[in-house]
Amino acid sequence: METKRTENREVITGSDFKRMVTGAYSEFLLEYETINQLDAKLRPQHVGRPGTDILRTMGAAVMPLAETKDDSIGGLARRVASAAILGARGNAGVVLSQIFRGLAKGLLGKFNATSSEFGKAFQYGILYAQRVLPEEPERPIVKAARAVAKGAYQAVRANLAISEILAAAIAAGESPQENGALRDVGEEIMLVFLNGCQKGLNGNFVSPVLNFSVGTEGQRLGLPDPRQDVVHPYCLTFRVATAQAEADEVERHLQESASFVVVERQRGSLVIHLHTDHPGEVLEQIIGFGTLTEMRLNNMAEPHAMILAHSSLMPVALLAVARDEKHAERLQKCGANLIALGGDDDIPSVGALVNAAHSDFAESYVMVSDGPRLNLVLQQVKRILGDRVEILVVQSSAEQEAAVRSFDRNLSAQANAERMRLRLTDK
């Protein structure tokens, strides 16, 4: 039966979008431990805490909204997407970040959006989420995403208000479980996200979002502090001609507004490479030091935005992920050059691994996971960095140590990755 199209002139503003995103964060604050407990029931052998991963990903996503002066829905969506992509933790976080990426693509260049435009952008987000997951065997979150997209499609075609589009998507995702089975973790995450967006749009979310988990109440409850997940997505490089200041002095001056800072003196000028979330503020700080030239600004959340702005110590290095200090020591003895440390409650983010590759340690990297918990995280790193990095996903710490032992610093990153895969196949 053909869906009847209705008259609807609703406009979705940047303020509406802010409320939706903060509403989703608020809902995950309330439900993230429930998601962790559900995962423990359904997958008792699984190592990881998807509820915590998704909450910290959302924390990274909402932080740019606290200080931004951009009121456009397209600009806000892009800021949130960039922060979510680099702040993504765990496989669940990567899937969520791709929803935001699709939303940003669909809202690009728009100051406000109609319900139909926002609904189509939302469907775009679901499509992006599906693309990062293998379809065979079909994962429950993919099945849920398809059901949600189908429900939203009918509502978009009928030109319904965005609150009704979200309600239709939620209803489609809440299909009854066979034999009273528990809803899968991925399906639960999708529904928590949609319910949070709907509550945020309607102004019904519970917590004073950004203050809830950073104040004394949040500390008392042991909630993750979203300030720890702030992402600096913009890679800024430029030259300061005729600068008289010392390189280390300028580097210290820029530390407050940037995460990664490298300042080198070359031929009487200072060459600066840094990561920040406010490039304008950085330029205002530095403009008095001399004439700014050769300026280049890249959003690191975009694929292949990598810049190598300085010389490296070695051609190729191996970075391995370790759960704790003992694990890290074993990997270093096996031959790992760099360690990304992180347990289940502090799993390395996409941005942390991207920043490692931005260091002056090596021109290219082989990154080796410590198990399936980083499958999608490493794939997202590869999408961003392209040929600068090769990834190897293993199934256990034993496989990881065997792969690390086969690393040869005289080979390229690609040749090393192939050598490691063969080593695992031959075991």
Per-residue model confidence (pLDDT) at position 1: 33
**Considering only 47-51, 92-96, 308-312, which range has the smallest mean pLDDT?**
308-312
Helical spans, DSSP H, in 158-206:
162-173, 185-202
Per-residue model confidence (pLDDT) at position 170: 85
Domain boundary among 206, 228, 250: 228
Burial classification of residue 330, based on how many CB atoms lie within 10 Å of its CB (0-12 exposed, 13-18 middle, 19 or more buried): middle
Per-residue model confidence (pLDDT) at position 218: 56
- Enter the DSSP assignment of 345: T
223 vs 26, 52, 58, 348, 416, CA distance in Å?
A: 12, 9, 13, 18, 40
Read off the pTM.
Answer: 0.87
Residues 277, 318 within the same domain: no
**Measured between alpha carbons, how far is 28 from 17 in angstroms, rounded to an integer?**
17
CATH of the domain at 275: 3.30.70.260
Q: Is the pLDDT of residue 112 over 90?
A: yes
Residues 97, 212 within the same domain: yes
pLDDT digits (tens, 9 = 90+) for 199-254: 998 887 665 444 544 554 555 556 778 888 888 899 898 999 876 788 888 888 88
User: Is 175 strand, coil or helix?
Assistant: coil
CATH of the domain at 213: 1.25.40.340
- Enter the DSSP assignment of 234: E
User: Considering the domain boundaries, does residue 305 fall inside one?
Assistant: no
| Cα 324 → chain centroid | 23
- Looking at per-residue confidence, does 119 or 319 come out higher? 319
Per-residue model confidence (pLDDT) at position 2: 42
Q: Contact at 8 Å (CB) between 112 and 13? A: yes
Mean pLDDT of the chain: 84
Beta strands in 288-337 (DSSP E): 291-299, 314-322
Residues 262, 171 within the same domain: no
Per-residue model confidence (pLDDT) at position 367: 96
Residue 338 — φ and ψ, nearest 5°? -130, 150
Q: Residue 284 is part of which domain span? A: 234-299
Domain boundary among 299, 325, 347: 299
Q: Which residues contact 50 (CB under 8 A, 6 or more apart)?
A: 35, 36, 39, 90, 91, 92, 185, 189
Residues 240, 193 within the same domain: no
Q: Is the pLDDT of residue 144 over 90?
A: no
Q: What is the mean pLDDT of residues 127-155?
A: 73
Per-residue model confidence (pLDDT) at position 179: 57
pLDDT digits (tens, 9 = 90+) for 250-294: 888 888 888 788 888 888 889 898 889 889 889 988 888 888 998
What is the H or E stretch that residue 54 is in? helix 50-62
Residues 127, 239 within the same domain: no
Residues 145, 247 within the same domain: no
Q: Exposure pattern of 55-74 as b/e (b: 16+ CB <10 Å)? A: bbbbbbbbbbbeebeeebbb
User: Considering the domain boundaries, does residue 304 fall inside one?
Assistant: no
Structure confidence at residue 427 as a pLDDT band (50, 70, 90): low
Residues 320, 280 within the same domain: no
Q: Domains in the chain: how many in total?
A: 3
**Tokens representing 176?**
């009854």
Residues 107, 239 within the same domain: no
Q: Is the pLDDT of residue 361 over 70?
A: yes
